[in-house]
Amino acid sequence: MPKLKKAYECKNCGHVQNVWAGKCPECGKWGSLIEKTVTKESQKAKNTSLTLDDSNQARLLSDIRVDESERIKSSYDEFDRAIGGGLVKDSVSILTARPGAGKSTLLLQLSASFAKKGIRVMYISGEESESQIKSRADRIIGDISKNIWILSTNSMDLAIREIEKRDVQIIILDSIQTFALAEFDNKQGSPTQSVECANKCVEIAKNPENKRAFIMVGHMNKTGEMAGLRTLEHLVDTVLVLDGESEEDLRMLTATKNRFGPTGEVGLFSMQEEGLIEITNPSEYFITERDESIEGSAISVMKEGTRLLEVEIESLVSKSFMPYPQRIGDSLRKDQLNTLISILQERAGINLFDENVIIKATGGLKLREQSVNLAIMVSIASSYLKKPIDNKTVFIAEVGLTGELKKVPQIRSRLKELERLGYKRAYIARNSVDKKDFKTLEIKDMKNIREVIGDIFS
């Protein structure tokens, strides 16, 4: 019979020890150790519990087949793109985002999409009542399929019973931090309960006789990371992040971990009254259509996963009447903006020491890639000099501290996409591509930022 013993677990980092202490020796937090009851099996019991299964033997890697039919595609191409081509039948995924970003809305829309394909789906919520979920479903789904079951509970034991009773194929847990197993004394949301509930999900999903797919919601903390132990991220197959500010329409679904496909793939959505709407043509969303050029606007190309996105960068330079001018960049880090301004001052002779500089990307897109450096600096120069830039001109280059233009990855594919879209001119770093490969796109390869500004505004 298993023996019961007392232990003390840190609710902050999950460290377990036999004696209580005021301060956790692992993370250093005070008053975080709480008492728990653990079951200790004897070594004899452990040995007898191990059974040898002749059907489970080592196999040659070359003999193992990958079946593409294991993926379940939804009606949302942007979701399928982000997750690697569709939801894998025996996978466990976790979706995290800030409160109000649209996690529950996206998962409810996915539930309806899978259910319309004849797949049995169970939506289990530990945060909302069944009537709240039904109210949202009436607003964003409309005609509700008979293949969707709803369960409102915090009991993981009850959830498992209903999953097996209804024999559903896709299960959505909203959220994993709100569920608890009866065999553990810890309260819901504790590291132990979250990890053990996730272990149960993995066990159910990986059953070879009845494969199921789980999508869990994970809370996000104030630092922008998923709450709880890193163990939770290691357990699951896919980690999805839904990024977007509550006041903006744009939502970006990104896979930061994916055992069944590439990481970094992005799905684009727009938050509307009727739910999340796919952005199938990013050019129309991120580029402002104008009849004439305007000062302070420059266009570049970013790479998100395998997708090329045109991005319009807008700058506003104004005189500062304060001792310290403001540097505001909604779409990039303030340190990066200050660095680019310093390069612009020292290497291009544009004095901004008493000027306010404000940067924004159309559509709220985050400027994470260094390939947009040149476009940012040119847009600032355009606003400062009060001279517009032709809206059929694109800037793709990283700018070093010396002011020199640096090559960016996959520049040829970016330029080919721009040529297809009808752009006329592109400024890039020297020796990046062969100009003969482009018929309608004029390639302007420059050495440094001073040459670029001189060529545009001369």
Q: Say what the pLDDT of residue 143 is.
A: 86
Q: Say what the pLDDT of residue 6 is.
A: 75
For residue 297, whether the previous peptide bond is cis, meaning omega lies within 30 degrees of 0, is no
Distances (CA, A) of 410 to 178, 255, 397, 448: 44, 21, 11, 20
Note the CATH architecture for domain 68-279: 3-Layer(aba) Sandwich (3.40)
Q: What is the pLDDT of residues 144-170, one digit of tens each?
A: 899 999 999 999 999 999 999 999 999
Q: What is the pLDDT of residues 9-25, one digit of tens each?
A: 887 777 788 888 888 88
> Can you name the residues that pair with 406 across neighbouring β-strands?
398
Residue 284 has pLDDT above 90, yes or no: no
| In the block, residue with structure tokens 């529950």 | 104
One-letter amino acid of 456:
I
Rounded-to-integer distance, Cα 142 and Cα 132, Å: 15
Residues 6+ apart with CB under 8 A from 360: 313, 314, 329, 330, 331
Distances (CA, A) of 152 to 115, 122, 159, 172: 19, 11, 9, 12
Determine which helix (DSSP H) or strand (DSSP E) holds 95, and give its type and residue range. strand 92-97
- DSSP code of residue 299: E
pLDDT greater at residue 227 or residue 66 = 227
| In the block, residue with structure tokens 């018929």 | 439
> Which of 211, 251, 247, 214 shows the shortest CA–CA distance to 232?
214
- DSSP code of residue 64: P
Say if residues 375 and 300 touch (Cβ distance below 8 Å).
yes
> Can you name the residues that pair with 310 across neighbouring β-strands?
301
Q: Which of 52-66, 74-88, 267-281, 319-333 has the lowest mean pLDDT?
A: 52-66
Residue 2 has pLDDT above 90, yes or no: no
Say if residues 255 and 263 touch (Cβ distance below 8 Å).
yes
> Which of 58, 52, 71, 59 shows the shortest CA–CA distance to 114?
71
Q: What is the pLDDT of residues 44-76, one digit of tens each?
A: 444 444 455 555 678 888 887 766 557 899 999
Overall average pLDDT of the 32-40 stretch: 73
Q: What is the CATH number of domain 284-457?
A: 3.30.230.10
Structure confidence at residue 198 as a pLDDT band (50, 70, 90): very high
Query: What is the reported pTM?
Result: 0.78
Domain boundaries, the chain: 6-37, 68-279, 284-457
Q: What is the pLDDT of residues 365-387, one digit of tens each?
A: 889 899 999 999 999 999 999 99
For residue 283, the SS3 value is helix
Sheet holding 442-446, edge to edge: 327-329, 355-361, 307-319, 297-304, 393-395, 425-429, 442-446
Say if residues 364 and 331 touch (Cβ distance below 8 Å).
yes
Mean pLDDT of the chain: 88
Residues 6+ apart with CB under 8 A from 170: 72, 87, 111, 114, 119, 120, 121, 122, 212, 213, 214, 215
Per CATH, 68-279 and 284-457 having the same topology is answered no
Rounded-to-integer distance, Cα 85 and Cα 261, Å: 8
For residue 30, the SS3 value is strand
Rounded-to-integer distance, Cα 171 and Cα 120, Å: 9
